[in-house]
Amino acid sequence: MNFIDKLLHAERLNQSMLCVGLDPEPSKFPGAWKGDASRILEFCQAIVDATRDQVIAYKPQIAYFAAHRAEAALEQLIGHIRRVAPEVPVILDAKRGDIGSTAEQYAREAFVRYGADAVTLSPFMGFDSIEPYLRYEDKGLILLCRTSNPGGSDLQAQKLASGDMLYEHIARMAQGPWNKTGQLALVVGATFPGEIERVRELAPTVPLLIPGIGAQGGDAAATVRAGWRAEGGKTVAPIIVSSSRAVLYAGSGDDFAARAREAAMAARDELNRARP
C-alpha cells in the first residue's frame, strides 16, 4: 500500500486519529533508566508495544536519536514497529529541506536506510527541494505549512503579491501542481484551529499532520472539527494528530508503559468523540 492507503487502513483498524511521537529524552526516562541514553531503543519499544493498537501512525523525531548517537537504535526501532505493528505507518520527522543531489541523499536516508513510510520536509526552497522524494512514488511527503510554534508567523503568515498568506500558497501547491504522486500531506499546528480549517478549505483531500495537542495545549475537539472530513461514513480527508510528551512521559515509574497506554487511549477516545 502507498502511504495514504496505509494511513486510512490504520485509521479504520485502530479507530484512531492519534499519532504517537517518539521523541526519547533520557533525562525524562523512568526510574533507574533516567539519564541513560543506552535505553533509548528499549524505552521506545516499550511505548510501541503498549500503544500499537491505539494509533494511526508513529512519528520518530530523528534529532532525539542523532543527538545521542542512536541512529542505529532508530533503525532497529522502525524494524520493531514493522514486526509488531506492520499496518501502522511510520513518519520520519526530519524536516529536511535542500535541493539536487543533497535532497536525493536525504530521500535515500528516509526511505531506504530507515524504511519510513513518510518524511516531513521544509518546502521553502521550492518544488525542486521535494522533487527527489517524489521518485519514491508510494511514499508520503509531509510539507511544513502552518506550524504550531509562535515564530511560525514570521514567515508563514506573510502576505504574497497574490493576496495569499505564504501558508495558504503552500496548501494550494500541495493540493494541486506539486502533488505529482498523490502522496503529499501538510503540517498544521493544533494551536491554530481556524487556520487548520483554512488549510482544509484550500486542500480538501490532503492529509494533515497536526502536532500541538497534549503538552502544547492544542484543543483536540477543535482540531478534529477543523481538519477531519468524511463522506458516507468514509474518511476522505484524514488527520494525523500527534502527541509526544503527554504519552511518552505519562508515568515515571516501572509502569511507565501502562501509563503511556492509558494516555494514548484517552487521547484517541477524545479525538473520536469529536467526529461529527
SS3 of the chain: helix, strand, coil, percent, to 5: 50, 20, 35
Q: Which residues are catalytic?
A: 95
The C-alpha cell of 14 is what?
485502530
Q: Return the pLDDT at 215.
A: 55
Average pLDDT, the chain: 95
Using an 8 Å Cβ cutoff, are 224 and 239 in contact?
A: yes
Q: Return the pLDDT at 221.
A: 87
Is the pLDDT score of 124 beyond 60? Answer: yes
How many whole angstroms separate alpha carbon 17 and alpha carbon 213? 12
Picking from 80, 91, 88, the residue whose alpha carbon sits closest to that of residue 46 is 80
177 φ, ψ (degrees, to nearest 5):
-65, -25
How many whole angstroms separate alpha carbon 111 and alpha carbon 248? 25
Percent of the chain with pLDDT over 70: 99
> H-helix or E-strand containing 231?
strand 229-231
- Any idea which residue has 503568515 for its cell? 157
- One-letter amino acid at 164 equals D
Q: Return the pLDDT at 214.
A: 61
Q: Return the pLDDT at 206.
A: 97
How many whole angstroms separate alpha carbon 196 and alpha carbon 100? 31
List of domains in the chain: 3-273 (3.20.20.70)
pLDDT tens profile 60-96: 999 999 999 999 999 999 999 999 999 999 999 999 9
pLDDT tens profile 233-274: 899 999 999 999 999 999 999 999 999 999 999 999 999 999
